[in-house]
A and B are shown apart, each in its own frame.
Chain A
Amino acid sequence: DAGVTQSPTHLIKTRGQQVTLRCSPKSGHDTVSWYQQALGQGPQFIFQYYEEEERQRGNFPDRFSGHQFPNYSSELNVNALLLGDSALYLCASSLKQTSGASYEQYFGPGTRLTVT
């Protein structure tokens, strides 16, 4: 049973460029969430996708956008990169419960983005 996978594992970009990160959820999961983890910090919620729509969003600017595909995989796009966007980007998948809640989130290994 494949867990959450992310690509690429590492990425180096220049300020002002755009980047796309990819995530495949755990088998059987239908919800994907993205988190940003700066060095020495806890992960911070960016947004969550379910049924190909953004359902909830954290305190991140519009430069951060995403997409979910019919097979439940997801992309995170960041435009006009800033030095402060350097971080580990984590994808987490979960299964929406009939109550509407998603309890356990399973995390991928992350993509390390460095902006120079």
Chain B
Amino acid sequence: AQSVTQLGSHVSVSEGALVLLRCNYSSSVPPYLFWYVQYPNQGLQLLLKYTTGATLVKGINGFEAEFKKSETSFHLTKPSAHMSDAAEYFCAVSVQGAQKLVFGQGTRLTINP
């Protein structure tokens, strides 16, 4: 079975600072990995995904993530935080053929002016 652990339920950074949201996964087979963002009272929006190929993936809004198999990690980063980045972020894992997403508990990102 797959699982996801997001380290830090709440992360606070200053505007313009580096954003780093941590995600570790557990999977017995090669995983597909995703980051989603959820703004208040809204559904989930896909930021980026890793399925196969290049391990550094770029997404929308300047976010990127690197798949590190040896560390079973898929951390999300953004070089410079904007106030509009304040939201809840979810890491998720699935495997080929499983057809379902397994989500972490989420990390609430707060941006300080």
Contacts and interface: CB of A to CB of B under 8 A. Distances in A.
A90 B32 contact: no
A56 interface: yes
Given A42-B90, A107-B44, A102 B103 contact: no
A102 B51 contact: no
A85 B56 CA distance: 39
Interface in A89-109: 90, 92, 99-109
A40 B99 CA distance: 24
Nearest to A43: B103
Interface in B1-45: 4, 32, 34, 36, 42-45
A4 B43 contact: yes
Given A42-B106, A103-B51, A110-B43, A33 B99 contact: yes
Interface residues of A, number: 29
B47 to A, nearest CB: 11
Contacts of A55: 99
Interface string A56-88: 101000000000000000000000000000000
| Chain B residues touching A, range | 20 to 34
Contacts of B90: 42-43
Given A100-B97, A106-B46, A109-B42, A42 B51 contact: no
A45 B100 contact: yes
Contacts of B104: 42
Given A41-B106, A42-B105, A104-B49, A90 B44 contact: yes
A114 interface: no
Interface of B: 4, 32, 34, 36, 42-46, 49, 51, 90, 92, 96-106
Interface of A: 4, 31, 33, 35, 40-45, 48, 50, 55-56, 58, 90, 92, 99-110
